[in-house]
Amino acid sequence: MWLHAEIKSLADIPRYYARTLPDKIALIDGVGGRTFRQLDRTSNLIGAALVAAGVPRCSHIGFIGKNSARYFEALFGATKAACAITPLNWRLTETELALVIEDARCPIIFVDKEFSSVAKNLQGSCTHKFRCIQFDSTSTAADEFEDWLGTGEPVDPAIECSAEDTAVLIYTSGTTGKPKGVQLTHRGFGYMRLCEHLEPALQWQADDVMLMVMPNFHLVGTGLSVQSLYNGSTVSILPALDPGRTLKLIERDRPTICALVPTAIQMLLDHPDAATADFSSLRLVMYAGSPISSRLLQRAIAEMKCRFMQFYGATESSGAITLLRPEQHDIDNEARLRSCGTPLPLIEIKIVDAEGKELPQGATGEFMVRSPSLFGGYWNQPDATAAVLQGGWYRTGDAGFRDAEGLLYIVDRVKDMIVTGGENVYSGEVEQALQKHPAVRLSTVIGVPDERWGEKVTAVVIVAEGATLTADEVISHCRTLIAGYKVPKTVRFVDVLPMTATGKVLKRAVRDQFLKDVENVVG
């Protein structure tokens, strides 16, 4: 990579710092700290045990568990065996998880004790057979995981990996509901570090502590933590977003950097303990997922007394694409706060129409990105890869424009993705769940603006002739099929939906009518 010539892959990060900063704390979780020496040693044992188990190089090693030091030990252990870590979204239903496991073909899955029953059910339901290694992230007592570590040689397996090998396989949902495995390569991570190294707004300091709040199955959670460790900084780990526990962790570990979605910032400041919280250790809060309102930013600056920076990216980009840098945060300019900023060094964005023709300033079209850090394609889906990687450019599916200052603005998602509380929800997935209810004749799902969630998943439903259906019944039905954050928060019943000549629902018209009706009620 770029800051240190010795670091050429993710596996080299603990190796390097075990030599140069062996006693520095790399990770802190609920059971204590891990030095870089300890991280290197445990990841050596994991890598060696994977080799002893006969796991082929380039295999996908699953992980089901909330954030913990064990996750990073597994990540670096997998890469030392020339495999890739696959953090699985524990918020999904068992049916959804099974689809991912069948696709990834994980030979081994590390499972936190909290999810042991889920894993056991998955072993019984999946046609692909895999072994589970259970650990307990809340205890230091000996467990199955510790026993398994002793099955390999207690040395670094040193299996050579290629820069093009997948280091992390992160699954995102598709517009069709089929999960897609985004292959993040060692080369992509390396070039992402170069883009950051050349960016003045992303400089790391020797005493930095990064607070990990976002989940490991999101690139924000894994990517920023890897960035911190690459720079020799400490990662303070929160299992999952919890405002009260976040405030306690800020007091205990004194983080200097954290990444949150605006919804989480709001929740943090609204917590009763925020009034007496000491935020003085923070120098930078990074946020993503949606713009921040001037009212929330003004409050956050006043109470947290640190700098704020927005980033826009995609799993496919291995990290941030653009930044709205701290000096661009003008609390008196609400319009500018809706911008996602400008690209990082070495990254380009062009805005094109449906035919791929580049559009002029001010015109809205699809964002296309060219970056040295782009992903290696979707696992086992060449057609899906070819649809978004075209001539070295990545089609983001996000629609927006560039203003006279060069600032970029996202105005919609071409792929109808809804961002709610920092989670990505594709309307197609929710619509498939809705259509499985016998009383639903036709439905569409849209995201509507919401002060708390950024966007609210909203279902618009036509009930089958002769049937009856309530909003509560729709919501309860969806909860049995999809993760809770994907379930509609609002259900509206209509007699007709606007359609195109080819029989597709005109979602923009549905959204516009919904917002108009809301305005009329408020008025």
314-346 per-position pLDDT tens digit: 999 999 999 999 999 988 888 888 899 999 999
| Distance (Å, whole) CA 396 – CA 251 | 38
Residue 103 has pLDDT above 90, yes or no: yes
What is the predicted pLDDT for the residue at 477? 96
| Distance (Å, whole) CA 465 – CA 492 | 17
Residue range 255-274: mean pLDDT, rounded: 92
Average pLDDT over the chain, rounded to an integer: 92
| Distance (Å, whole) CA 80 – CA 442 | 50
Is the alpha carbon torsion for 86, 231, 112, 218 positive or negative? negative
Q: Are strands 209-212 and 423-426 parallel, antiparallel or unpaired?
A: unpaired
What's the pLDDT band for 101 if we cut at 50, 70, 90? very high
Residue range 122-126: mean pLDDT, rounded: 96
All domains of the chain in start order, with CATH: 12-399 (3.40.50.12780), 418-522 (3.30.300.30)
What is the predicted pLDDT for the residue at 246? 96
Residue 386 has pLDDT above 80, yes or no: yes
428-487 per-position pLDDT tens digit: 778 878 988 999 988 999 999 888 888 999 999 999 889 999 999 999 999 999 999 999
Q: Which residues contact 312 (CB under 8 A, 6 or more apart)?
A: 288, 320, 321, 322, 323, 340, 341, 408, 410
What's the pLDDT band for 175 if we cut at 50, 70, 90? very low
Of the candidates 436, 473, 447, 443, which has an alpha carbon nearest to the alpha carbon of residue 461? 443
Phi, psi of 358 (to 5 degrees): -65, 140
Q: Please state the three-class secondary structure of 215-273 as a single string.
A: CCCCHHHHHHHHHHHHCCCEEEECCCCCHHHHHHHHHHHCCCEEEECHHHHHHHHHCHH
What is the predicted pLDDT for the residue at 136? 96
Portion of the chain with pLDDT greater than 70, in percent: 96
What is the predicted pLDDT for the residue at 519? 60
Higher pLDDT pick, 145 / 292: 145
Residue range 190-194: mean pLDDT, rounded: 96
What is the predicted pLDDT for the residue at 177? 57
Separation in Å, CA 466 to CA 56, 410, 439, 463? 56, 42, 9, 8
Residue 296 has pLDDT above 90, yes or no: no
What's the pLDDT band for 10 if we cut at 50, 70, 90? very high
What are the tokens at 142?
């000996």
What are the tokens at 445?
């799902």
What is the predicted pLDDT for the residue at 523? 44
DSSP state of 55: P
Residue range 137-145: mean pLDDT, rounded: 91
